[in-house]
Amino acid sequence: MGMVGVNTVAFPTLRAHFPLAVSACTLWMLIGSGASSASEHFWLDFRGEARLALTDNSLLTIKDRVPDVVLNTSPGINMRWESKRVRAGVDYALDHLYFISDNTTDYRHSGFATIDAEIVKDHLSINGRASLRQQFLDQRGSISNSFANKTDNRRLIQNYTGSAILKGGLRDIADYRLTYRYGLTRTPADNLDDTTLPVNFSDTDSSEIVASIGSGNRFNSFSWRIFADSSRVMRSLDVNDFKNEHVAGELTYKFNRFIQIFGSAGFSRNNFQTEILSEDGQTWDAGFRWTPGRKLDLTVSFGKEGNREEWYANMQYFFSPRLDFNGTYQDTLSANTIVTNDSLQSFTFDEELGISNASGLPIDETDPIFTFSDVDFRRRNARGTFTLRQKRTTLFATGNIEWRTFDDSTGTAASWGISSGFDRKITAKSSIEGSIGFRQSRFEGEIRIDNYINANLDWTTNLSRYFRAAVGISHSERQSNESGADLEENAVTIYLRGTF
């Protein structure tokens, strides 16, 4: 399961399309050229990072574990631009890793970019996200929450998504909205001749469009909406493409400022293969939204789409200004690319936290919950997060469970997990943060069950305005009912960062 060491590693190249790179550079130059004329805010920071890590399993093998000392040097750049209508940022780093035990090297790209812009005030806006991340492809293979190892299961995944929203009104009678989202995923996993790959799946191009027209300000208690949507994913390999389409009408009645009911009816179709997931016919749903005060916002609906019964629920509850809960459950037909686009669009970049989610909590993209695949699926997902924010301390606890029923008759995979963490500022210059998590995965078409345990603790201090140091320890472990699938790694990392 571990990767065989080699003496030389070729410098990696990004497989992004050239027009995409040109468009990104052009956009950045247009933004940058307006900095002086508009007298807005522009930041450009260069940095250098060095990590020294000690690991007890550098090859992520089950037996004959190889301890190692890994030196990681990483130049990076961060650019940010803010104006009245534009917020944009780019963060990129190139990691060079040197493994002392066998004198081998590795290069890894890491990047994240965002842009949110209002092109025409109140009518046209665009946003985009880009992510370059080293991720584990197969959940059955070698995985870890430490960078200080090497395995064929870790590869560069490039994700790009951008959307445009056009909205307006026809006096006070009707409002219209048109949303289009395009996505690209590029990986080396579509190379069928590469025998080192643990799994194969396609490069993808996705297009999602939603058009709607609904009641305007003239309608108060009673409102209506007619909408249509289409989602398509085109794949590079000779496999089934994803298609899912709907057209429906929706009515909403608001009894008072506390409660409203809604329902919709329409038609749907897709190109799924199995009987339970295939659709070509009527769809409907009905539900309510309850907002009894400032603390609670609850929406619940139930319906039927094709041969499937569907539930949806979303809840926000503010116990106090510092403690809140956010929970959601949804049942959809989807594909890996669509899930990635949804997640990526909600992410932001924080200079201190790195990539963070909509709740402002740091996320880790290196260990996806499910194995990457070209097979489409029904996704039932529930998630809940408690967040407590105090002056110096942030605490969080989150739990989630997800079922994926795949369209190739292999069955349903399930994964559930809980995690908790904290971030405390000890002084104005130092902080400590840690997290611990547990996840159980049941694989489709198998009796295999894996339990994952991971934990980390990091202490960080600012040595000066330009230099920061940190020390961290991490533990990752997999316990499986399949013989020979257990895995464990422990690592200690010393970190120094300079910003110029």
Q: How confident is the model over 379-406, as a mean pLDDT?
A: 93
pLDDT classification of 331: cutoffs 50, 70, 90: very high
Q: Is the pLDDT of residue 489 over 80?
A: yes
- Over residues 174-191, the pLDDT tens digits come to 999 999 999 999 999 999
Q: Is the pLDDT of residue 13 over 90?
A: no
Alpha carbon distance 269, 149 (integer Å): 45
What's the confidence (pLDDT) of residue 184?
96
Where along the chain do its domains lie? 18-499
Sequence-distant (6+) residues with CB within 8 A of 290 are 258, 259, 296, 297, 298, 299
Kindly state the helix (H) or strand (E) to which residue 339 belongs, with its residue range. Answer: helix 336-346
Angstrom CA distances, 487 to 246, 321, 370, 423, stand at 45, 42, 17, 28
What's the confidence (pLDDT) of residue 62?
87
Query: Do 185 and 167 contact (CB within 8 A), yes or no?
Result: no
What's the confidence (pLDDT) of residue 446?
80
Percentage of the chain beyond pLDDT 90 is: 73
What's the confidence (pLDDT) of residue 219?
82
Q: How confident is the model over 35-54, as a mean pLDDT?
A: 82
Alpha carbon distance 155, 189 (integer Å): 8
- Over residues 128-146, the pLDDT tens digits come to 999 999 999 999 999 998 9
What's the confidence (pLDDT) of residue 367?
56
Sequence-distant (6+) residues with CB within 8 A of 196 are 3, 152
Closest CA to 185 of 371, 333, 337, 20: 337
* E strands present in 17-122: 41-55, 68-82, 86-99, 104-120
18-499, CATH topology level: Maltoporin; Chain A (2.40.170)
Tokens of 254: 């608001």
Q: How confident is the model over 444-457, as a mean pLDDT?
A: 92
**Within a 10 A sphere around the Cβ of 281, how many other Cβ atoms?**
12
Alpha carbon distance 361, 368 (integer Å): 17
Q: Is the pLDDT of residue 30 over 80?
A: no
Q: How confident is the model over 426-430, as a mean pLDDT?
A: 92
Angstrom CA distances, 169 to 123, 158, 181, 216, stand at 9, 38, 22, 7
9 vs 136, which has greater pLDDT?
A: 136
